Amino acid sequence: MYGDGTTKRDYIHITDIVDGIISSLEKRFKFEIFNLGNSKSVELKYLISLIEKNLGKRADIKHLPEQLGDVPVTFADISKSKNMLDYDPRVGIEEGVGGFISWYRQQQ
């Protein structure tokens, strides 16, 4: 983990991205650029805790210094996508991580 785990990122479930892409293909645009994301930043430490909870085990974390040039928070501005594509991400981080862990276990 780079830094102290307080960096925040806009994690999004693949089904929400696919919904946004399909919506952009179904509408006729000459040329547009759309941000697809969740617009809700999640702290890295919280993401790790969700993975731990769903796996039922503690993460073995290697702590590394913060990366040069890294930013503390990122998130997508999805207002244009909401307006023009009716884009509305529905899968929350808790549900998404739980679903991923369940899927992963079935692959074993």
pLDDT in tens, 51-73: 999 999 999 999 999 999 999 99
Q: What distance in Å separates the CA atoms of residue 85 and residue 77, rounded to the nearest whole number?
A: 14
Mean pLDDT on 6-22? 96
Statement: 8-107 belongs to CATH 3.30.565.10: no
Return the domain boundaries, the chain: 8-107
Burial of 85 (0-12, 13-18, 19+ CB in 10 A): buried
Locate 88 and state its tokens: 């509305």
Specify the pTM.
0.88
| Overall average pLDDT of the 22-39 stretch | 94
Report the candidate in 69, 3, 74 with the shortest Cα–Cα distance to residue 42.
Answer: 74
In the structure, what pLDDT confidence band is assigned to residue 28 with cuts at 50, 70 and 90?
confident
Q: Return the pLDDT at 94.
A: 97
Given a contact cutoff of 8 angstroms between Cβ atoms, the answer to whether 23 and 47 are in contact is no
